[in-house]
Structure 1
Amino acid sequence: MKKTILFIAISLVIVSCKNETKTTETKIEDVKEEIAYTSVGMQINDADALTSERMMVHYKNMKVGDTVPSKMKGKIAEVCSSKGCWMKLDMDGENQVMVKFKDYGFFMPLDAEGDVVVNGKAFITETPVDELRHYAEDAGKSKEEIDAITEPKLEYRFEADGVLLKTE
C-alpha cells in the first residue's frame, strides 16, 4: 500500500511539473515608407494623389472652361524668381502645368525644386500674349525671348490650395 501511495504521489508531481510549450504569434505588418514633406498653404496629405502621367490623361480630355478637382504629383520645372507666386510642373517631358496659388494666399520658396504634391483644381485656359510675356519676365528670360512671344497659348493650369514639397 505504501508503494501505491508513493507511486501516485510521484505521478502527480511529474504530471504537475510537465513543461508546456507556449506558442506566440508574431504579426508582421507592412511598413509604408514615410516621405518627409514641407507643407505650404492648406494642410493636405499625399494619399490618392494622381501621378503626372495619369493627370495628363485627364488634361487631354478637357477643353477650355472645364475644371476638375484633383490632387496630383509632379516635378518642379520652374518657379517664379520674383516672389514664388507660381511654378511650372514637368508632367511627362513634353508638357508642363502652370500652377498658381489660390487667392495668392501663399508662395513657394524661390529655390524650390524636386517633387511636389498639389491639391486644388485643374483646368485648361488660353493665355493672352501680355500675360505670357509677364511670366517670361518673372522667370528671368531675356528681352529677345520675351519679344518672341507673339501668339496666345493654350495651357494646362492648376489652382492649388495646398502644396507638399518633398524634402530630401
Structure 2
Amino acid sequence: MKQIIFLLVISLTIFSCKNESKPGKTTLEADSPEMIYASFGDDITVDDVLDSERIMTLYQNLKVGDTVDSKMKGKIIKVCPKKGCWMTLDVDGENEVMVKFKDYGFFMPLNAVGDVVINGKAFVTETSVEELRHYAEDAGESEDQIAAITAPKFEYRFEADGVLLKE
C-alpha cells in the first residue's frame, strides 16, 4: 500500500510541475473601449510606439547587418496565405516593411487586415532572388510574375516577437 501511495505522489508531482506555455491569441483592451487588440506571440503594450517618421529615419540610418530593438505600427498589406508566417506592412504610405515572426513561434491569421503594433528587431537586408521568388510563390503570383524576378531587392525588415492586431 505504501508503494502505491508513493507512486501516486511521485506521479502527481511530475505532472503538476509541467509548465507548458503555448503562444496564442489573447485579447487586450486599452483605456478606451474602441481600442481592443488581439495579441500574438509575446505580450506587448501599445506604449512607446515609434511613429512612421521616426521608424523611417531609423531604417534609413541602418546598414546591412545592423539591428535595432523597436516597436512600431503599420497597416497590413498582405499576410502569407499559406500559414500566416510573414506579413508586409505599410508604414507611411510610401514604404513597406517585411515582417517575420521570431523563431516561427507564432503566426498571424490568414485573413488579418488593419492596423498592428509590432515589437522586435528592425533591420535592413538585401533579399536574394530565390527568396523573393519563394515569397511570390507563397503569395500566389503567376509563373510569369515569379520568373520576372531577376534581381535582389534592398528591403526594410522586422523580426517580431509580439504583435497586437487592432480588432
Smaller-chain TM-score bracket: 0.7 to 0.9
Which amino acid letter does the alignment assign opposite residue 146 of structure 1?
I
Query: Matched residues in 2 for 1:92 and 1:36: separation?
Result: 23
Q: Distance in 1 between matches of 2:48 and 2:105?
A: 24
| Displacement of 1:93 | 2.0
Structure 2 unaligned blocks of 5 or more: 1-30
Task: Report the residue type matching 1:78 in the other structure.
Answer: K
| Separation of aligned partners in 2, 1:89 and 1:127 | 17
5+ residue gaps, structure 1: 1-31
Write the deviation string for residues 81-124 of structure 1: whole angstroms up to 9, x where unpaired.
Answer: 01000000011222100000000000000000000000000000
1:75-114 equivalences in 2 (<5 Å): 75-114=75-114
Structure 1 distance, partners of 2:147, 2:53, is 32
CA distance in 1, matches of 2:109, 2:159: 17
Q: How does 1:1-168 map to 2 (within 5 A)?
A: 33-34=32-33, 35-167=35-167
User: Residue by residue, what CA displacement relative to the aligned partner does 1:140-159 show, whole Å, maximum 9, x if unpaired?
Assistant: 11111111100011110000
TM-score (norm 1): 0.79
% same residue: 70
* C-alpha distance in structure 1 between counterparts of 2:52 and 2:143, whole Å: 32
